[in-house]
Amino acid sequence: MKRYSSRVFKTSLLGQPMAFLSGAEGNKFLFSNENKLVQVWWPSSIEKLFPSAHINPRKMLSSVIKVDALRKLVGTTDVVMKQHLQTSWDRDEVNVSLVAKTYTFALACRLFLGIDDAREVQKIVKPIDDMSRGILSIGVNFPGTAFRRAINASRAIHEDIERMIKQRKIDLSEKRATPTQDILSQMLLSTDENGQFAKEADIASSLVGFLHGGYGTVTAALTFIMKYLAEHPDVYDEVLKEQTEIAKSKESKELLNWEDLRRMRYSWNVANEVLRMTPPVFGTFRKAITDFNYAGYMIPKGWKLHWIAHDTHKNPVYFPNPEKFIPSRFEGNGPPPYTFVPFGGGPRMCPGNEYTRMVILVFLHNVVMKFRWEKVIPNEKIVSDPNPRPSQGLPIRLRPHKH
C-alpha cells in the first residue's frame, strides 16, 4: 500500500489498481463527478451475479420509491411488523439477526412483489442467501464453490422473478392486478424520460438487487439498533418516551402513518448514530473514465476508486469522541456535508434510504412499545461477511412491559 498524502493513497484490491480518496473532500469529489470523471464499477463476481448490472437500478427504483408512494405503505409495514411480533417474538429469548432477517424479507416480498405467503417467501430467501455467501468470493465458477452456488442461485431467482413479471403483465391487462398494488406493478407501468418501458430482464435484475441489498443492509441496521439500545438504557428510555407519546395520540388499533414517522425525531437520531457507528455497507467502487488530477496526483483512466463510510464516520475531526454513542450529534443541522454517508451520495445514492427509514422506525416503534431487552452474550464479537453482524446473531432476553 502506498500513501501519497492524507487525502489519497493507492493499493491493489480485487486484482485491480485502486485509489482511496479520504475525508469529506474525497466523498464530495466522487459523488459529484459521477459520469463526468468516474462511473460505478463492480467486481467481476457481482457483474456475473447481476446480469443487468450495466443498467442503473437506482434510477429505475427511484422512479417508484418516492415519498408519496412510501406514505401509502406505512400502514402495510405496520401490519406486517405486528404480525411478525406475534409469530417470531412470542418467547423469552430471540436471535435478533434471525428475526430481523425474517421481518425485512417478508416485508420486501409483500411490498415489492405482492407475496405474503410464508412458503413463497421462503423459496426466495434461499437463493438470496446463497448469493450473499458468494458475492465477494473469488469469481471462479468451479463446481462446489460458493461462487458456483451463488451463480446458480442468481439464475434461479432471476428466472422466478421474470416468470412473476410475465404473469403480472397478464394480470394487469385482465384487471386481476392493480397498477398500484406493489412496486412490481408500478415498475411495469413506469416509463423512462424517452417514454420507453423497461425490459423484463432489467426489472428482474433491479428487483433482485434491491431484495439482496436491502435485505442485508436493513437487517444489519435493525440488529445493531437493538444492540446499542440494550447497551444504553438511558437512550432506550428516551426512545420509549417518544414512542409512547405517539401511541397515546392514536386510537386503539390505529396503524402508524407517515406523519407519525416524522414525529420520531429522537428515534431517528438514534438510528443515524447506529448507522454512523456501524454502517451496514462498507463502501462502494468507482472507475475513472478519463485521466484526472486529484489533490495534486494523477489518477489514470481505468483505475478503480473506493470510498469507505468508516473513513469519515469514525474521524474525530467530524465526529468528536467517535467511539462514543451520542445520538445528539444529529440534532439541529447535524454533521457537516459528505461526512455521514451510510447511503452513499450523489446520483448513485441508495434509492432505498427513505424506505430504510420507514422500515426502521416502524420496527422500532413496535418493539420498544412491547419490550425491554438485555443481551444474552455481553461481549459478543462483531464479524463481517460482507455486512457487519454479531457473531452469534445477537441473542437477547425479552422483558415484556407490564400494563
Number of other CB atoms surrounding residue 134 within 10 Å:
24
Confidence at residue 62, expressed as pLDDT on a 0 to 100 scale:
61
Indicate if the pLDDT at residue 393 is higher than 90. yes
Q: What is the DSSP string of 140-184?
A: ---TTSHHHHHHHHHHHHHHHHHHHHHHHHHHHHTTSS-TTSSHH
Secondary element (H or E) of residue 292: strand 292-294
Q: Are 391 and 380 in contact (CB under 8 A)?
A: yes
Confidence at residue 6, expressed as pLDDT on a 0 to 100 scale:
65
Confidence at residue 397, expressed as pLDDT on a 0 to 100 scale:
98
The Cα–Cα gap between 211 and 207 comes to 6
Binding-site positions read: 350
- Cα separations in angstroms, 115 against 101, 122, 219, 265: 16, 11, 19, 32
The chain-wide mean pLDDT, for the chain, equals 88
Q: Is 262 exposed, middle or buried (0-12, 13-18, 19+ CB in 10 A)?
A: exposed
Q: What is the CATH number of domain 1-32+284-339?
A: 3.30.43.20
pTM of the model: 0.90
Q: Are 29 and 20 in contact (CB under 8 A)?
A: no
Confidence category of residue 147, pLDDT binned at 50, 70, 90 = confident
The residue type at 295: A
Confidence at residue 254, expressed as pLDDT on a 0 to 100 scale:
97
Letter string b/e over residues 158-183, b meaning 16 or more CB atoms within 10 A of that residue's CB: bebbbebbeebeebbeeeebeeeebb
Q: Mutual orientation of helices 118-134 and 146-173 as an angle, nearest 10°? A: 140
Confidence category of residue 128, pLDDT binned at 50, 70, 90 = confident
- Cα separations in angstroms, 308 against 181, 286, 387: 37, 12, 13
User: Lowest mean pLDDT: which of 20-34, 60-74, 325-339?
Assistant: 60-74
pLDDT more than 70, % of the chain:
91
- Mean pLDDT of all residues in 77-92: 96
What are 295-321's pLDDT values in tens digits?
888 999 999 998 888 899 999 999 999
The Cα–Cα gap between 282 and 335 comes to 19
What are 190-211's pLDDT values in tens digits?
887 788 888 888 889 888 888 8
Confidence category of residue 1, pLDDT binned at 50, 70, 90 = very low
What are 86-111's pLDDT values in tens digits?
999 999 999 999 999 999 999 999 99
Confidence at residue 136, expressed as pLDDT on a 0 to 100 scale:
65
Torsion on CA atoms 44, 46, 51, 53, rounded to nearest 10? -100
Indicate if the pLDDT at residue 162 is higher than 90. yes
Binding-site positions for heme read: 350
State whether residue 373 is helix, strand or coil: strand
> In which residue are the cell numbers 470510498 written?
307
Confidence at residue 308, expressed as pLDDT on a 0 to 100 scale:
87
Confidence category of residue 3, pLDDT binned at 50, 70, 90 = very low
Confidence category of residue 54, pLDDT binned at 50, 70, 90 = very low
Q: What's the grid cell of residue 318?
A: 467530524
Q: What's the grid cell of residue 44?
A: 467481476
Q: What is the DSSP string of 224-252?
A: HHHHHHHH-HHHHHHHHHHHHHHHHTS-T
Domain ranges of the chain: 1-32+284-339, 33-281+342-400
The reply to whether CATH 3.30.450.20 applies to domain 33-281+342-400 is no
In the chain, how many H helices and how many E strands? 15, 13
Q: Which residue has better confidence, 117 or 54?
A: 117
- Mean pLDDT of all residues in 71-81: 94
Q: What's the grid cell of residue 276?
A: 454512523
- Mean pLDDT of all residues in 388-397: 95
